[in-house]
Amino acid sequence: MNYEKLFGMQRELDHHIEQKHALKEEDLFERKILALLVELGELANETRCFKFWSLKPSSEKAVILEEFVDGIHFMLSLGIELGYDGKIRNAAKRKEKADISVTAMFIRLYESILSFNNEKTEDTYWGMLDEYLELAEALGFTEEEMEKAYFEKNEVNYERQRKGY
């Protein structure tokens, strides 16, 4: 993925939101962490991977992808906030693929996000992002699809700001 471009776009969106809502002096880190956790829950809900009691299928791929990129927005924003966007990694350091379910991946991601919240290191940041990208792969998303969906959702986010969302 073109992290440099994604971080740049996110930096601009963050700046726009902070200016519009007079948040320049606010510490938004915890709110962004909670927002990321909520978005991860919304993503899990659309996949329905944990709903063993239901016969209803998961949402369409486009809906799941849109929820996925909501998480990307907050992950990028958190990286920017701590200055981890300066050392762009072109290739994620992937662990050996674990043969685990999508449900287990979601649980592991919650743990990873909370670990990052407690230990705000560059390693915990990139580890969290890498795990999120592993989930994307498990959900069948390509890097091209993720980038395109990010660009589209970024525009939606600007439009929402213009309309007083």
Copy the structure tokens of residue 10: 């996110």
Residue 105 has pLDDT above 90, yes or no: yes
pLDDT of residue 90: 47
d(CA 46, CA 31): 23
* Percent of the chain whose pLDDT exceeds 70: 93
d(CA 94, CA 85): 19
pTM, two decimal places: 0.91
Residue 155 has pLDDT above 80, yes or no: yes
Task: Provide the domain limits for residue 105.
Answer: 3-162
Which of 26-40, 121-135, 148-162 comes out lowest in average pLDDT? 148-162
CB 86 within 8 A of CB 123: no
pLDDT of residue 1: 84
Mean pLDDT of the region 38-47: 98
* Domain containing residue 128: CATH number: 1.10.4010.10
Q: What is the total count of domains within the chain?
A: 1
Mean pLDDT of the region 15-20: 92
